[in-house]
Amino acid sequence: MGTYELYYWPSIQGRGEFVRLALEEGGAKYVDVARTAGGMEAMMRWLRGDGQSAALHPFAPPFLKDGKRVIAQTAAILSYLGPRLGLVPKAEASQFEALAIQLTIADLVAEVHDTHHPIAGSQYYEDQKPAAKQRAASFTAERIPKFLGWLEQRLERDGGPYLFGRRVSYVDLSVFQILRGLSYAFPNAMKPIGARVPHLLELADRVAARPRLARYLASDRRLPFNEQGIFRHYPELDARAARAKKAPKRGRRRA
Amino acid sequence: MGTYELYYWPSIQGRGEFVRLALEEGGAKYVDVARTAGGMEAMMRWLRGDGQSAALHPFAPPFLKDGKRVIAQTAAILSYLGPRLGLVPKAEASQFEALAIQLTIADLVAEVHDTHHPIAGSQYYEDQKPAAKQRAASFTAERIPKFLGWLEQRLERDGGPYLFGRRVSYVDLSVFQILRGLSYAFPNAMKPIGARVPHLLELADRVAARPRLARYLASDRRLPFNEQGIFRHYPELDARAARAKKAPKRGRRRA
pLDDT tens-place string over residues A127-160:
999 999 999 999 999 999 999 999 999 998 878 8
Domain parsing of chain A, residue ranges: 4-84, 92-219+231-254
- What is the length of chain B? 255
Give contacts of A103 with chain B, Cβ < 8 Å.
73, 75-76, 103, 106
Residue type, B206: R
Say how many Å lie between the first and final Cα of chain A, rounded: 62
Say how many Å lie between the first and final Cα of chain B, rounded: 62
The CA-based dihedral angle spanning residues A121, B145, B95, B217, taken in that order and rounded to the nearest 10 degrees:
120
**Residue range B92-211+233-254 in CATH 2.30.36.70:** no
Asked if A120 has any chain B CB less than 8 Å from its own CB, the reply is: yes
Kindly tell me if the per-residue pLDDT of A24 is higher than 90.
yes
* Per-residue CA distances from A248 to A22, A134, B60, B64 (Å): 39, 19, 26, 37
Give contacts of A49 with chain B, Cβ < 8 Å.
153, 157
Asked if A138 has any chain B CB less than 8 Å from its own CB, the reply is: yes
The pLDDT tens digits for A40-55 are: 999 999 998 876 655 5
d(CA B168, CA B27): 13
Model pTM score: 0.93
Per-residue model confidence (pLDDT) at position A1? 61
User: What does the pLDDT average to over B76-93?
Assistant: 97
The pLDDT tens digits for A183-207 are: 999 999 999 999 999 999 999 999 9
Per-residue model confidence (pLDDT) at position B1? 61
Question: What is the CATH class of A92-219+231-254?
Answer: mainly alpha
pLDDT-derived band at B57 (thresholds 50, 70, 90) equals confident
User: In terms of DSSP bridges, do strands A30-32 and A4-7 run parallel, antiparallel, or are they unpaired?
Assistant: parallel
pLDDT-derived band at A249 (thresholds 50, 70, 90) equals very low
d(CA B103, CA B93): 15
Of A49, A120, A134, the CB nearest to B138: A120
The pLDDT tens digits for B229-244 are: 999 999 999 965 444 4
User: In terms of DSSP bridges, do strands B63-66 and B4-7 run parallel, antiparallel, or are they unpaired?
Assistant: antiparallel
| Mean pLDDT across chain A | 92
Beta strands (DSSP E) in B85-202 are none
User: What does the pLDDT average to over A26-47?
Assistant: 96
User: What does the pLDDT average to over B62-77?
Assistant: 96
Look up the CATH number of domain B4-84: 3.40.30.10
Per-residue model confidence (pLDDT) at position B56? 66
Per-residue model confidence (pLDDT) at position B55? 57
Per-residue model confidence (pLDDT) at position A253? 35
d(CA B162, CA A170): 33
Of A71, A107, A153, the CB nearest to B57: A153
Per-residue model confidence (pLDDT) at position A50? 78
The answer to whether the CB atoms of A59 and B104 lie below 8 A apart is yes
Identify whether the C-beta of residue B176 lies closer than 8 Å to the C-beta of residue B184: no
